[in-house]
Amino acid sequence: MLLNFIDNYLIEFWFQPFAHKFQKLTGKDNFSLSYHCCFIFWIAINITCVLGKASWLILLIINFISADHAVLIFLINWKYKKESVAKEVLHQNSYRLNWGAKLKRTVLFVLGSIMLAEIVFSAPRHFCRGETLIVTIICSFVSLHYFIACTPLPPQSGLIKKWFRAGIEFTRNLGSRSGEPIPVPG
């Protein structure tokens, strides 16, 4: 029960509204957000390993983990699109209901929260770049898994694209309507 409560609360009140606002603004769905989180995780973990002078084997393993998550996002996105085409209107992402994925998400959130609390309360007055990178790694990794579980809105054009097109139309119509050149003062 507690596992379902934590998972549903985080998805319904934190990640799903953010993913929907992001989709309305940009036109890109929650899977795009997951790809961004995966990319941020990959960059931050590689920088952390390079700063810590990790061996090439550790870097190789971490790159395989990041690639595995990118493939996971692609497969879940493909499965969701296939399900939504079959049912026309899909009310919930099936990955969200998967018990193993739900357990993994909740455990990642709890462990990530404990690690973040430990970093924040045991760190000195200011963060150094190591703690900042670790916080980035934890937040992007947990967010990646929760954004996958969100149910996207139907495909639509984003507001930014609409504003951009309206701005282009405005600048095209800014000149004189008769086709004559605009007089330059002076």
Q: What is the pLDDT of residue 21?
A: 93
Q: What is the pLDDT of residue 98?
A: 73
Distance between CA atoms of residues 70 and 144, nearest Å: 10
Higher pLDDT, 23 or 155: 23
Q: What is the pLDDT of residue 180?
A: 63
Q: What is the pLDDT of residue 128?
A: 66
Average pLDDT (24-35) is 88
pLDDT at 63 over 80: no
